[in-house]
Amino acid sequence: MARFEIQADFDHDGKISQSAAEAKLKLTPPGLILIPNLDADGRKRPGIGKIGDPARLDFADEAWPAGDKELTPFIVHPTAAADGDGRLFIEIAGRICFRPKLYDADRRHIRSEGGARSTHVFAIAVDPARDRMFYIETGHLRGDPLCQLRRTGSSPQARLRSSRFAEFNKLLLGADFALLRLVSQRSGVTTIEDSAVLSHAPLIFVDNTAPAERLYVAEIPDRGTVGGNSPTLSGIRDASKQFPRVALAVVPENVNKGDAWLQDQFQTGYCHRPGLPPLRVILHLPRARENVVTTGKGNLGAFVAYHFPESDQALYQRFWERTFGKARDETDAEHEISFVDSFELSSEIDSVWAVYAQARELLLELERAPSIDTTLGEIFQIQTFEGLSEARLRLKRIGKKVAGQSQNHRPPAFNLRSTRLPGC
């Protein structure tokens, strides 16, 4: 008989009833649902004309602020067979795609002791005399873009043979689920006392037929022959007077940086919180363009990160936290490529190959000239280069050869400056 068991809101009615019916659901997905603590308690949404550094979200803090409603509680309950021998651990195991934090009832942060690659281990005191409440905090949603598979053993087959994941494998849980386990150790013997399914809350998007609450419009002033959206904005202001319950938020140019495409920068959704009103979640979409082009001035990303987080309104930034491999600079130092840098790098790569295509067209024209330098064709070969730096050097050599061609032949000009790459 188990000495300790997990009790939690497995029936999602907003309370821990400690009933037998509730306990029967602990291994039935979705199990205990984790709510992302990505709002900013105590913060009020700033004025629409303000801009600043990204708001600090609750999950970034090590302390658990009073009144925070996004932590998920559960109880460690001693059974009739409980005693005070050995050690007791709380484990969160399986396919882990988040960094869970654990707090006790006194709001103390319990540090993870590490464990296997796929397991977070938290040591707790053995207390056979009373129930103890604990709280899990997460900063993730179901379908997290940074989720990675972590296995025990050297292969998937080894993981499937692992007895420590017997419940997990039997349930065929996927990337968005994990196991909450109580594990005891005494006299050199490790025992799994109890297990329960954990899952992240899904993000539910607002239906397009839902009543409007707030209308965001970017203001783009007219400048001479360059048209803005003044007529549109004027019409919206007039029409909004007929809908007094819908707040009109006009994002000024100093905040929107000339980018008007608010509809592509974020989407609004909700997470269901059992026993509480839904948590509004702003999903920051992975968009780095300004309108439909890239000018380097920035876009509405800074506005979204600064404006929206507040109490009971979360901001999901994980798409912006992704990295895309590594690159080396001119000093041979290695750097991770962030999402924002990846877009800039992609634009630079596009410019290199655009010039490369133009150079190829130039070569075809030069081959028709009577005084063609035969070595030019050898320099310009379609092949796989070791990197963009080598491609750029070859393009420069082509440019020098072109400059040395016959004065009687003036091929179309092309600009090699667009091949400039940071670190190349």
DSSP secondary structure string for all residues of 59-104: GG-SS--TT---PEEEEEEE-TT--S-SEEEEEEEES--S--EEEE
For the cut 60, the answer to whether the pLDDT of residue 298 exceeds it is yes
**And the tokens for 45?**
């949404």
Beta-strand relationship, 32-34 and 119-124: unpaired
Q: pLDDT per residue over 225-234, tens digit each?
A: 667 899 999 9
Q: pLDDT per residue over 143-185, tens digit each?
A: 887 764 443 333 333 433 444 445 545 554 555 688 999 999 9
Contacts of residue 180, defined as CB under 8 A and 6 or more positions apart, other chains included, come to 6, 8, 31, 32, 74, 90, 91, 92, 136, 195, 196, 197, 198
Q: Is 206 helix (H, G, I), strand (E, B) or coil?
A: coil
Q: pLDDT per residue over 46-69, tens digit each?
A: 999 999 999 999 999 888 877 799
Which position has the token pair 């024209």?
365
Residue with the bigger pLDDT between 422 and 232: it is 232
Average model confidence (pLDDT) across the chain: 80
Residue with the bigger pLDDT between 7 and 368: it is 7
Q: Are 3 and 78 in contact (CB under 8 A)?
A: yes
Helix (H) or strand (E) holding 398: helix 388-403
Q: What is the pLDDT of residue 226?
A: 66
Q: Which domains does the chain have, with CATH numbers?
A: 4-35+71-200 (2.60.40), 204-321 (no CATH), 341-419 (no CATH)
d(CA 173, CA 166): 11
Q: What is the pLDDT of residue 111?
A: 92
Q: What is the DSSP letter of 412?
A: P
**And the tokens for 257?**
């940086």
Q: Are 202 and 143 in contact (CB under 8 A)?
A: yes
Share of the chain above pLDDT 70, in %: 73
Helix (H) or strand (E) holding 185: strand 177-186
Q: pLDDT per residue over 256-287, tens digit each?
A: 998 999 999 999 999 999 989 999 999 999 99
For the cut 70, the answer to whether the pLDDT of residue 354 exceeds it is yes
Q: What is the pLDDT of residue 388?
A: 54
Q: pLDDT per residue over 124-152, tens digit each?
A: 999 999 999 999 999 988 888 776 444 33
Q: CA 89 from chain center: how many Å?
A: 30
Q: What is the pLDDT of residue 417?
A: 39
Q: How much is the pTM?
A: 0.77
Residue with the bigger pLDDT between 89 and 114: it is 89
Torsion angle in degrees (nearest 10) through CA of 321, 322, 326, 329: -40
